[in-house]
Amino acid sequence: MHGGTLLHTLPLVRGHHDGRIVLIGDAAHPVGAGQGASMALEDAVVLARELGRRTTTSNALAVYDRLRGDRLGKMVKAAIANRDAKTAGPVAARLRDLIMPIVFPRMYERATGWLYDYDLGAPPTAASATADAG
């Protein structure tokens, strides 16, 4: 086994829950994109909402996994692209350094909107959980 480095990636976690424990954030999806805390908050909101809406925990966990899958898959792709950009060879690194000052201010907000403008909707409340269960 080798030690971790700045650009080391961890394998994807196969099981995010086992009936007693649910992993969220970096514990569930260690993609290395610097988004562990925000992913944990998103996970918590989606998980709480589905636990309040479903009649069984297993149903809630299945829906939670499905709902989070697309976004987390996109996060994995972004993390790989970020890592690859940081490990570019000398020619690619020089091109990146020349192009980024021109492209970054014009494209960054649009390219990362999916990450920072994501709307989960209102978090679940005790009243909505009671109404949904009834």
Residue 2 has pLDDT above 60, yes or no: no
8 Å CB contact between 22 and 61: yes
Of 27-41, 42-56, 107-121, the poorest mean pLDDT is in 27-41
Per-range mean pLDDT, top range of 56-70, 74-88, 104-118: 56-70
What does pLDDT average to over the chain? 78
Confidence band (pLDDT; 50, 70, 90) for 77? confident
